[in-house]
Every structure is written in C-alpha cells, then in structure tokens.
C-alpha cells in the first residue's frame, strides 16, 4: 500500500491510476498527514459492494422474520419523508 499527499498525487495522478489498475496497488491520499481517501483497484470496490449487498440481504431476511410492524409516521420520519 502506498501513501501519498493529495498535493503530490495531483502531479502523479496518471501514474497512480496505472498503479491501482494494473499493479493492484492501494494508494492512500493524505492531507496534513491525515488519511482522507484512497485510490484502489476496481476489483476491490466490486468486492466491497458485493459484501455490502450480502450484508443488506441478511439484515432484510432477519427483518422479515421479525413479528410486528412499524407505524407509518415512524417510517416516514426514518426515511425523512
């Protein structure tokens, strides 16, 4: 894993994309020494999305097994409608 400041990354952006896409390197971008974002291979993102979807599906299945209901007003408030 590579760490680079956002300022330096701007000058090397094309090279960093190549490292992430073809060398499968994960690049962490920092500002003032703090990690704030990452440039990662698309495979990492797709895997993360798949894991999140599976987690959501498990939660939905669990919720379906629960008895009871949610009042309409609470649902609207939860969804900020």
Tell me which DSSP letter residue 32 carries.
T
CA pair distance 12, 4, nearest whole angstrom: 10
Q: What is the tens place of the pLDDT at every residue in 33-71? A: 999 999 999 999 999 999 999 999 988 888 888 888 888
| Residue 70, pLDDT score | 84
| Angle CA 7–10–11, to nearest 5 | 100
CA pair distance 39, 5, nearest whole angstrom: 12
Which residues, including other chains, have CB under 8 Å from residue 3's CB and lie 6 or more apart?
27, 28, 30, 35
Decide which of 2.60.40.10, 3.30.230.70, 3.40.1620.10, 3.50.50.60 is the CATH code for 2-41.
3.40.1620.10
How remote is the C-alpha of 56 from its chain's centroid?
A: 14
User: Does this model's pTM top 0.85?
Assistant: no
Q: What is the tens place of the pLDDT at every residue in 15-42? A: 999 999 999 999 999 999 999 999 999 9
């Amino acid at each position: 894993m590579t760490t680079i400041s956002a300022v330096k990354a701007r000058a090397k952006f094309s090279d960093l994309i190549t490292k992430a896409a073809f060398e499968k390197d994960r690049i962490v971008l920092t500002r003032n020494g703090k990690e704030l974002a990452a440039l990662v291979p698309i495979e990492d993102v797709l895997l993360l999305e798949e894991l999140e979807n599976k987690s959501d599906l498990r939660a939905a299945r669990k919720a379906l097994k629960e008895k009871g209901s949610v009042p309409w007003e609470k649902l609207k408030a939860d969804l900020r409608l």
